[in-house]
Chain A
Amino acid sequence: MRNILAILIVIAAFSVAGTSCKKNDDNNNTTSVDSGFVYLHLHTNIDTNEADYNTVYTDANGRQISLSKAQLYLSNIRMIKTDGTQYALPNSVIILKDLETEAYFLAKVPTGSYKSIMFNVGLDATTNAKTPTAADSALNHPDMWFGSSAQPDGYVFVDLEGSVDTTAAGNGSTALMQPFTYKIGTNAHLNTVTMPDHTPVYSIAKDESQFVHIIIDYSKLLNGVPLNNSANLSVKTAADNNSAVSNTISNNVPSMFRYEE
């Protein structure tokens, strides 16, 4: 009888030992994925200068430029893991980057190591055909519509306005700078940007915030644009987006983005 009692006590002890850590084990086996918070920190630049509106800057070629508007859409954002696979953020994550705002919360992203980020500059065809509601905070911006409403012409993907030295040599005076407006949009001008691998990698830790710092250099948009022809200083409508100058500007979009060092 004593032996039986002793055996029962030992079994009970093992049982307690096995279950007393159950709470921790459950935490480790939970089906929810650990995640951290990912933000973009976006700078608006003209070459190496952080830009403010209505201030004259000089680009890398020595050409003077000032901005009165510089904003764009980022969408379909994906974090690229070190093994090359992608983690796509929800489609609802659409950033309207304006000059005044630098920090944008993207989403909670599973913990792990990520080497890069990719995104669209502009909106996919479905979103571009959408009429926004008041709740669509990024889309419900009349200044980013080609018309008085978002449809039928869709959204302006990149809006760059200001004044620029239009001399061929880029050595004109500030007083003679000419106004320009480039509203780039339409489905044909949707660009995908894949940032280079970042070193060190981004380590997303549970419940911690990770910022991805990117400079948007708007002066790059003007590369190859014959600015000394006044006809090349205006892209304002969806129809204008069939022009050669709109193609040139659109093709320059990926070159605008670089990591802040």
Chain B
Amino acid sequence: MKSKAVLLGMVLFAAACKHDDATTATPARCSTDTIGTVSFSRNIVPVFRQNCALSGCHTGSAPAGNLSLDSGVAYAALMKPGSGYINTSTPAASLLYSQLLSTADPMPPTGKLDTCTISLVLKWIQQQAPNN
């Protein structure tokens, strides 16, 4: 009887912490995790090119939201003072990042980017959004 009780106790103790373990599970790794310093030209611009600087969107002379993400002008447009697109002091408050998470005004409108790409954009901002 005593050994059964001890066993039950151990089982209960282990089960009691299962919830904690589940909520702190490590997310799946991204291939981009290995990137040390995020490059605007090599890592970020291609994301814009494939998802944002598309016809009728953030490209050309009259881009949506007056924000062109064409490769030649994207950096200057994002860094325009007062625009809020990039906030290096509070990276998660950057409009660029916020829109990637938004459900009210999702960007891209056609569907959310994968979490690894979104994390990459945030990482670039956290690294002070260099024009590298």
Contact = CB atoms under 8 A, between A and B. Distances in A.
Contacts of B16: 16-18, 20-21
B125 to A, nearest CB: 12
A49 B6 CA distance: 75
A203 B1 contact: no
A200 B103 contact: yes
Contact of B95 (A12, A202, A211): A211
A103 B42 CA distance: 28
Interface in B1-47: 1-2, 4-6, 8-10, 12-13, 15-17, 19-20, 23
Contacts, number: 95
Interface in B67-118: 81-85, 92-95, 97-99, 101-105
Category for how many chain A residues contact B: 35 or more
Contacts of B15: 17
Q: By DSSP majority rule, is chain A's interface helix, strand, loop, or mixed?
A: mixed
Given A5-B2, A102-B82, A208-B98, A10 B8 contact: yes
Given A13-B9, A210-B104, 14 more contacts: A3-B1, A7-B5, A9-B9, A17-B15, A17-B16, A39-B93, A43-B65, A100-B81, A100-B82, A102-B82, A202-B104, A208-B92, A208-B98, A213-B65
Interface of A: 2-3, 5-7, 9-10, 12-14, 16-18, 20-21, 24, 37, 39, 41, 43, 50, 100-103, 105, 198, 200-203, 205, 207-211, 213, 260
